[in-house]
Amino acid sequence: MKPTQILLTLLSFASAAVQAADSDKDKKGWSGKLSTLDGGLEGTVTVSAPDKLVVTDYKLEDASAPALYWWGSATSSLSDGFRISNKHVTEKATSDTTEIMLDAGKTPSDFMTVGLWCEKFSANFGQATLMAQTGGNEDMTPPPTMTTGSGMPQSTDNKMNGARGIVGAVEWIWVMAGLGAFTFLLM
């Protein structure tokens, strides 16, 4: 194989790795199980598109809070977050699946935690930490939590969930570039 062929092959592999890292950015397929804190909220939240989340096994027994909206947060604390959907949640669950349209100017890349939040009383009805799914039998249990003085759950897991995939892709690119240089030197 000629050095230019090797270089082109390595570049195509590197391009594929970068595209895989970019697909992690929109978090499609990432999911997390909702903690049940109030109102009988249950379910699993999954990113289905850059502008939509789907909650399966959805349960909400009480939606009587006056200002109930879906929120997201870049941290594990939903109280530090922001509204991700402008649809006011006013009814208990009538189906085991619900869609959350991200129409408040945010995308999944803006948050790692999603939950149902009462804006009037600053009450967390339940939240999920979104994590990449690798297709195996992962434990879908959210990271361990502790409560603050206000009773709000705080994650004790300090990992940056999305960084693992991006760092892995960058490391792979460097390995492939190193192998290419080594092969070139052998010729």
When the pLDDT of each residue in the chain is averaged and rounded to a whole number, the result is: 77
Least confident of 17-31, 34-48, 105-119: 17-31
Give the model confidence (pLDDT) of 27-47 as tens digits: 999 999 999 999 999 999 999
Give the model confidence (pLDDT) of 90-107 as tens digits: 999 999 999 999 999 999
Domain layout of the chain by residue ranges: 3-24+165-186, 28-157
The DSSP secondary structure of the chain, one letter per residue, reads: --HHHHHHHHHHHHHHHHHHHHHHHTTTT-EEEPP--STT-EEEEEEEETTEEEEEEEE-S---STTEEEEEESSS-GGG-EES------S--SSSEEEEE--SS--GGG-SEEEEEETTTTEEEEEEE-B---SS----PPPPEEE-TTS-EEE-----TTHHHHHHHHHHHHHHHHHHHHHHHH-
pLDDT confidence of residue 78:
96
Fold of 28-157: Immunoglobulin-like (2.60.40)
pLDDT confidence of residue 187:
57
Q: Global pTM?
A: 0.62
At residue 26 the predicted structure's pLDDT band, cuts being 50, 70 and 90, is confident
At residue 179 the predicted structure's pLDDT band, cuts being 50, 70 and 90, is low
